[in-house]
Structure 1
Amino acid sequence: MVQTATLPGPAGNSKLEKKPVKFSNLLLGAGLNMFEVTTLGQPLEVVKTTMAAHRGDGFGSALGRVWSRGGVLGFYQGLIPWAWIEASTKGAVLLFVASEAEYYARSFGAGDFTAGISGGITGGVAQAYATMGFCTCMKTVEITKHKQAAAGVKPQSTFATFMDIYRKEGIAGINKGVNAVAIRQMTNWGSRFGLSRLAEGWIRSATGKKDGEKLSAGEKILASGLGGGLSAWNQPIEVIRVEMQSKKEDPNRPKKMTVGNTFKYIYGNNGIKGLYRGVAPRIGLGVWQTICMVAIGDIAKQYVEALTGDKVSAKH
């Protein structure tokens, strides 16, 4: 049984409760992430990555490029097993670490906005280094490796590609770009959690709701959507991440790629527009994630509670 802990609140006259991370929460998070990525999530991810890797492409030409790699199946490159592994684990890591970090931030007197950012940043970094580094790397490899297919050679299987990278570059090769992933996740979840909390406050003020009063499903979707959409400000980090993990051939690329020299390479070749390439499908991805985690999440809660007999307390 998971126990809760209480500490004096910031004002000293109320108790701050540490909510337990329940199995039902982890099951719900994993299930919703799996549903999200298997439906629209991976196609949007593929288009976003394609645009970030081929920065001369517009949205339409990126769709054509993806379609040429296998029709509808081209939009699901990297889904199995990498996107599924990432989806089934990252939610659990984020929920557990962000919950702990937000609790301790509140115990030191932080408000909703600051505690939300603290939880998001810490959870995002944990996600990157624990599960997302090698998953995003292998997804990007799957999406951007086209040299063999263009030459008429049957591309390597997913695991053959994985082992080939491991033999040549070791763990570092499998986790290539993980520092950029960590920066992206840190800024992404920090701003998403913080801005969503801020938006919730605006909505409560506009509707006359008191602090702590529940928002409707539509209001939660609006708050989360604003947080997710505005979090796309860090798209340059995502483009840098894709470039670092891409397997495309270019003699002008830095031999040993870091976040700094990759930024210079992209900016020098494509300017500021290149750094924001793929931002539209990323915003679309944020909207779909919000719908899955909030609207569909509320329905899924009922089924998880019936299945486990445990009340789900996860925040979406």
Structure 2
Amino acid sequence: MGKPSPFADACAGALGAVFANSLVFPLDVIKTRLQTQNKLLKGSEVYHSSLDAFLRILNKEGLAGLYSGLGAGLFGTVASAFSYFYFYSSIRAKHVASLPAGAEISTAVELLMGALAGALCQVFTLPIAVITTRQQTAPQDERQSFFATFHDIMEHEGVAGLWKGFKASMVLCSNPAITYGMFERVKAVWLKRRAALGKAGGLGSGEVFLIGALSKTLATVVTYPYIMAKVRMQWTVPRSATDLSEKDRQSMKYTGSIDVLKKVLATDGIQGWYKGMQTQIVKAVLCQAILFVSKEEFLKLTLALFAFLEGGVGARKSNTTLTN
């Protein structure tokens, strides 16, 4: 199989991401509900753990509750994965073309290109993430369709409302770099341990997966307060919360990530910064593992489909030529 084009790579990445995120989507809903629950919202559902959230949502809203915002979520996944892989493949291809023959890309440059691709991706896809968050956290009787939610945000918050959490998203573009750095450090320690035990050779696939999962976990722990802050900024107070005082209502409006962290610290303590983190870690590790495994298969299918379509177009051109 030759080097795929950025478009083919983007298609395969998007398909793999959709497949992976479809499987773990309920975890995303649970994580988002845990991140946005607030003690000041009297009468609202209070979740004590991920399992408690799962059971309560299932009991009160059924399976539909665990998949609230699925359409917007998968649309966002396609847009995000496609744009990320496209930007990354394009940036990398241009950089490789500019290198002298035989030169290799350094790890630092690889990470920089990944962060740049992630930042460009966020510019275009953040509004979809905002709509998804609103659908996932809205009370069942207030939940709206994708376009109705979009219209509601535009009407009450303007265009700026669609890009809430943008600065936090830019900070979170560092997550892959942290993950990779952790991976290299943990791998070095593990190889030293293997050598001390007299084990030769490289790492097995199982060991690579475990080290990758641990690295992703450590990176998530480091960046999680910003993950929570971004979701809080994208969330909005339910319309049904009519008994809130103006002071409490203002305390749930945020000017930025630091403002979120200060207010959550005041009401929930340091543990408030890490609400839903366990679910986020499980979701991230599972999603990444499924994506890595499935992307190559989807790439083969994508290239086969492109070849089939190109063959069909070629055959039609040939028939047209013969007819003429």
CA distance 1:309–1:208, change in 2 (3 Å): farther
Aligned counterpart in structure 2 of residue 166 of structure 1, from 130, 143, 154 = 154
Match of 2:66, as an amino acid? F
2:251 match: 253
Aligned counterpart in structure 2 of residue 70 of structure 1, from 61, 73, 90 = 61
The DSSP-based 3-state class of the residue aligned with 2:249 is: coil
1:274 match: 272
CA distances 1:191-224 after superposition (whole Å, capped 9, x unpaired):
2344445556667775534xxxxx7654553343
1:47 match: 30
Work out whether residues 117 and 194 of structure 1, in 8 Å CA contact, stay in contact via their aligned partners in 2.
no
Ranges in structure 2 where 5+ consecutive residues have no aligned partner: 39-45, 195-199, 239-247, 309-324
TM-score if structure 2 supplies the norm length?
Answer: 0.74
Q: 1:298 and 1:70 mapped to 2: Cα distance? A: 36
2:113 match: 119
| More helix per residue | 2
Q: 2:69 and 2:175 mapped to 1: Cα distance? A: 22
CA distance 1:103–1:200, change in 2 (3 Å): farther
Match of 1:140, as an amino acid? T
Q: Which gives a bigger RCO, structure 1 or 2 (Cα 8 Å, sep 6+)? A: 2
- C-alpha RMSD over aligned residues: 3.3
TM-score if structure 1 supplies the norm length?
Answer: 0.75
Q: 2:166 and 2:184 mapped to 1: Cα distance? A: 28
CA distances 1:16-35 after superposition (whole Å, capped 9, x unpaired):
xxx87433211210100111
Say whether residues 1:60 and 2:51 are aligned partners.
yes
Ranges in structure 1 where 5+ consecutive residues have no aligned partner: 3-18, 210-214, 311-316
Alignment of 1:155-304 (within 5 A): 155-184=143-172, 186-196=173-183, 208-209=201-202, 217-233=205-221, 234-248=223-237, 250-253=248-251, 255-304=253-302
Work out whether residues 232 and 260 of structure 2, in 8 Å CA contact, stay in contact via their aligned partners in 1.
yes
1:128 match: 122
Q: Percent identity?
A: 23
Q: How many residues align?
A: 279
1:9 match: none
CA distance 1:272–1:171, change in 2 (3 Å): same
2:316 match: none
Who wins on radius of gyration, i.e. which is larger?
A: 2
Match of 2:226, as an amino acid? I
Q: 2:176 and 2:302 mapped to 1: Cα distance? A: 25
